[in-house]
A and B are shown apart, each in its own frame.
Chain A
Amino acid sequence: MEYSIVNHTADLGVWIKASTLEQLFEDAGKILMEISLGESFIFEENYEIKEFEIEGSDLVDLMVRWLGELLYILDGERFIFCRTKDIQITDGKFHAWAYFVPFKEELHNIETYIKAVTYHQAKVEKKDAWWEAFLIFDV
């Protein structure tokens, strides 16, 4: 995963780079968990799998909605996103299967509580051979 944290006065900005669009979406999810859980972003092989079908007006909208789902599952259902299988992104639609593990107080700790993924200055675009995303998280 290739990413860097960008200083933003009140919130937290992040640049993400990946070789494919699908990889960019998966990495963005993992980065969201890594920032949230810090060093406790560890998991046992005890996965639950969930299916996602998301519609959005463009790639930015899809990305914000996808990450919003993962944040809800972390804070509302107490499951940590681990990885995806078979991401498909076409014509404003995102489909994927995603693996999660339960959040366990004895193993995991939320080090940075991310309230939301915002649309502010958000970008998802192809640059030469790479796909890049810029996102601001409300913390």
Chain B
Amino acid sequence: MDMEIKRLDEVRWLIPKQGQMRVEGLVYASDELMEQVRKDQSLVQVANVATLPGIVWRSLAMPDIHWGYGFPIGGVAAFDMEEGVVSPGGVGYDINCGCRLVTTKLHAQEIKGVLKDLVLALFKNIPCGVGSTGALKLKKNELFSVSQKGALWAVEKGFGEHEDLLHTEDQGTLPDADPSILSEKAITRGLDQLGTLGSGNHFLEVEEVAEIYDDKVADRFGLFLGQATILIHSGSRGFGHQICDDFLKLMSKSQEFPLPDRQLACARIQSDLGKRYLAAMACAANYAWANRQILMHYTQETLLKVLNLSPKELGFRLLYDVCHNIAKIETHKVLGKTMKLCVHRKGATRALPPGHPMLPQDFKEVGQPVLIPGDMGTQSFVLVGAANAALESFASTCHGAGRVLSRAQATKAAKGRAINREMEDQGIIVMSRGKDTLKEELPEAYKDVSKVVEVVHKASLATKVARLRPLGVIKG
């Protein structure tokens, strides 16, 4: 690939303006990760995003960057509200796909004896896989209410507590959602998929806090060594996919300037189409927050029953919920100037540093919890937003490990292996609905998440707080 790339320091690589690029690109990566990144077309995608009108500062890529469609996965780009564009491809089909981490008062040792029963019960009680029978069946007016209220709708229906909302990005509700503009197709898909985990890389894991890096922040987050926690990864399901698809097609039809990739189809933020997309996307984002809130509630019910505990004894508490596929109107300082921007995070997580005005009171002093899931066989991380995120990445950091093997390559590598047995030998109980899910989600299919996290830690976008080790995994 003939692209000029300059190394700035140990973890930063600059793509100078070339071709039609309006701004520079910046990739956060170590030598080793950069070597992997160069193998696919994701750097070209960073440069392509830099050609879009109204892009501000730099087209950014986090260390879990990999080849997506249109935007790279792991990409962050912010656009000026007057001149700039909004792109459904810069959010992705799974709008507000994200993670939430729930802490308990329990030590993992206390549940290891019943772990198999617990994972089996979770697998039975959490609707997962495609079709996901067991979902809530909504009427159209209820779907509209979910679309407008998000996690608050779920709490009002008895799924969880009001205090959960304070520990959810944007309190689990994006304003300006307008369900009246949704297509009939989106509505149909939204009616019977709420309260379902989904398939592919979505999961629910029982985790043990295996290592603490920052005692002060861990204490503030309520994390302790050996603690049992729950990590949930899910999104807006078919509802979000349809909304993305609908608007990509509308924007593709009325595209007013040439694009290097049709999947980058976009509209001016201030145009009618741009505003309608943001209002429809907010519906899907709210649906996803309601979805994770409901999944968390089902999990609590299951734990209480299997472990025969009272809610007080279990101490089930939402540490935080983050989204990693989203476009949001946020205010950031760019080269010393305060700007209102439309920030696209496609496979990237918001990471507010200490003192940020948008932080809930109890995290004001330490910063926002950032959840970075790894693969099912190794580890996940809790980080906290750090100072440089506000200075150089629109308060963003990485979102996960990032794939290195395609699903076909992973299935080939898993041929003849009993993946669930391999996991069990490591003390991890895994259950999945799909026949090939475990093969496709093979640990080797992903980058080593610790290497990804090390880069953002060194770049001071988000710093390490704790490492989680999986004990039980359910997948769709």
Contacts and interface: CB of A to CB of B under 8 A. Distances in A.
Interface in A50-107: 57, 60-61, 64-65, 68, 72, 75-78, 103, 105
A133 B220 CA distance: 54
Contacts of B244: 116
B263 A119 contact: yes
Contact of B407 (A12, A76, A136): A12
B374 interface: no
Contact of B242 (A61, A76, A110, A112): A76
Contact of A111 (B70, B238, B245, B434): B434
Contacts of A121: 69, 261
A122 interface: yes
B238 A65 contact: no
Q: Which of A9, A72, A76 has the most CB of B within 10 A?
A: A9
A139 B200 contact: yes
A23 interface: no
A126 interface: no
Chain A interface size range: 35 or more
Contacts of A75: 130, 189, 238, 241
A94 to B, nearest CB: 14
A35 to B, nearest CB: 11
A110 B263 CA distance: 26
B406 A68 contact: no
Contacts of B434: 110-113
Given A119-B265, A120-B262, A76 B185 contact: yes
A5 interface: yes
A65 B249 contact: yes
A81 to B, nearest CB: 15
Contacts of B185: 72, 76
A14 to B, nearest CB: 11
Given A60-B262, A76-B189, A119-B263, A68 B245 contact: yes
Interface in A106-139: 109-113, 115-116, 118-122, 136, 138-139
Given A57-B252, A76-B189, A111-B434, A9 B263 contact: no
A10 B73 contact: yes
A76 B408 contact: no
B415 interface: no
A72 to B, nearest CB: 5
Contacts of B221: none
Q: Which of B241, B242, B409 has the most CB of A within 10 A?
A: B241
29 contacts: A5-B408, A9-B40, A9-B403, A10-B67, A10-B68, A11-B406, A38-B436, A64-B249, A68-B245, A75-B130, A75-B238, A76-B238, A103-B131, A105-B131, A109-B130, A110-B199, A111-B436, A112-B434, A112-B436, A113-B130, A113-B200, A115-B241, A118-B263, A119-B70, A119-B263, A120-B68, A121-B261, A138-B92, A138-B93
**6 nearest A-B pairs in the assembled complex, by CB-CB distance:** A120-B69, A110-B130, A119-B262, A7-B406, A120-B263, A118-B69
Interface of B: 40, 66-70, 73, 92-94, 129-131, 133, 185, 188-189, 198-200, 238, 241-242, 244-245, 248-249, 252-253, 261-263, 265, 403-409, 434-436, 476
